[in-house]
Each structure stands twice: as structure tokens, then as C-alpha cells.
Amino acid sequence: NAGVTQTPKFRVLKTGQSMTLLCAQDMNHEYMYWYRQDPGMGLRLIHYSVGEGTTAKGEVPDGYNVSRLKKQNFLLGLESAAPSQTSVYFCASSTAGTSGGNEQFFGPGTRLTVL
């Protein structure tokens, strides 16, 4: 049981380049989330999904797109990277409804630098 995995672990992009971050979970969780974490700030929610084929905007969605084509995968895309998107990106998943109280489980993170 791998839990939540993220690929890649590190990436350096040039301004304007695009990339996709992949998150996978093997816990059969309904809900998945993408966060970014910046120094001195709490985590901020970018996008989330409450089920396969559904996505919704979080607190800071601009410049990002997401897709949830399969229940176990949640993809985060940057179409045209900007230096302001330099951050550590975390994926998380949780159960739906009141089962388990919605405890969120996190991946190890992806460190992205945009030059």
C-alpha cells in the first residue's frame, strides 16, 4: 500500500514552459486535492476533486488546470509557467462523507522551480 505518490519529485522549468504533475493514490479515496506551500505561509488549496470526472477551484487556481479522468489519479497542469509558481506542490486524498472524518493523507511533494 503506497498511499499517495507524486511524480516528479523535483523539476526546474523556464518561464513559459508547460508541465504536468501526477498524483496517484491506492486507497480508493473519493476526494483529492492539490496544494502549494510557500515559505512562511500555510498551505493553499489550488484545485480539488470530489470524484472521478469532477474538479473544482480552490483558493489559488489561476495559472493551473487539473483533470481527474481516473479515480486514483489527479493531474495538475501548468500551461505557461511563471516564476511566481515556484513552490512545493502537495497532493492529498481523503474519504468522502463522514466515513473516517475526512482525514487527509499527503504525498511527499514536488519541488518546482521556475526560472
Partner 1 sequence: KQEVTQIPAALSVPEGENLVLNCSFTDSAIYNLQWFRQDPGKGLTSLLLIQSSQREQTSGRLNASLDKSSGRSTLYIAASQPGDSATYLCAGSMDSNYQLIWGAGTKLIIKP
Q: How many CB atoms lie within 10 A of CB 73?
A: 15
In the beta sheet, which residues pair with residue 78?
A: 19, 64
Instruction: State the binding string over 16-45 for partner 1 (x if CB under 8 A, else -).
Output: ---------------x-x------xxxxxx
- Give the whole-angstrom CA distance, residue 63 versus residue 97: 30
Shortest Å distance, C-beta 43 to partner 1: 5
* 15-23, 61-69, 78-86, 94-102 -> range binding partner 1 (CB under 8 A): 94-102
In the beta sheet, which residues pair with residue 66?
A: 76
**Cβ proximity to partner 1, 85 vs 94, nearer residue:** 94
